[in-house]
Amino acid sequence: MTTGRGGKRRRRRRIDHKALYIRIGILVLAVLTVVLGIYSCVSGNRRNLNVDASEPDIDVQLLDVNPYSRPGIETEEINGIVIHYTANPGSTAQDNRDYFNGLQYSRETEASSNFVVGLDGEIIQCVPTWEVAYASNERNFDTVSIECCHPDDSGAFTDETYRSLVQLTAWLCLKFDLSEDDVIRHYDVTGKICPKYFVDHEDAWEEFRQNVRKAIDRTLEN
Residues near Zn ion (CB under 5 A) are: 84, 186, 194
Identity of the residue, 53 or 117, whose beta carbon is nearer to Zn ion in the bound complex = 117
> 146 - beta bridge partners?
83, 115
**In Å, how far from its chain's centre is CA 89?**
20
User: How far apart are CB 109 and Zn ion at their closest, in Å?
Assistant: 13
The DSSP call for residue 70 is B
Q: Check if the beta carbon of residue 105 is closer than 8 Å to that of residue 79.
A: no
Closer residue to Zn ion (CB): 194 or 199:
194
Shortest distance, CB of residue 33 to Zn ion, whole angstroms?
Answer: 42
Residue number with CB closer to Zn ion (163 or 186): 186
| Least Å from the CB of residue 217 to Zn ion | 28
Q: Which of 77, 106, 94, 73 is closest to 147 using CA atoms?
A: 94
Q: Minimal distance in Å, beta carbon 186 to Zn ion?
A: 3
Minimum CB distance to Zn ion smaller for 186 or for 214: 186
Q: Kindly state the smallest distance separating residue 173's Cβ from Zn ion, in Å.
A: 19
Closest CA to 192 of 118, 54, 82: 82
Q: Is the dihedral of CA 74, 69, 181, 138 positive or negative?
A: positive
Least distance to Zn ion, CB of residue 84, Å: 3
Using an 8 Å Cβ cutoff, are 184 and 220 in contact? Answer: no
How far apart, in whole angstroms, are the C-alpha atoms of residue 140 and residue 134? 6
Residue closer to Zn ion (CB basis): 186 or 209: 186
* 43 three-state secondary structure: coil
Look up residue 154 and give its amino acid.
S
What's the min distance (Å) between Cβ of 108 and Zn ion? 17
With respect to Zn ion, which residue has the nearer C-beta, 62 or 87?
87
C-alpha 57: how far from its chain's center? 18
Residue closer to Zn ion by CB (options 84, 209) is 84
C-alpha–C-alpha distance, residues 211 and 180, integer Å: 9
CB 150 within 8 A of CB 84: no
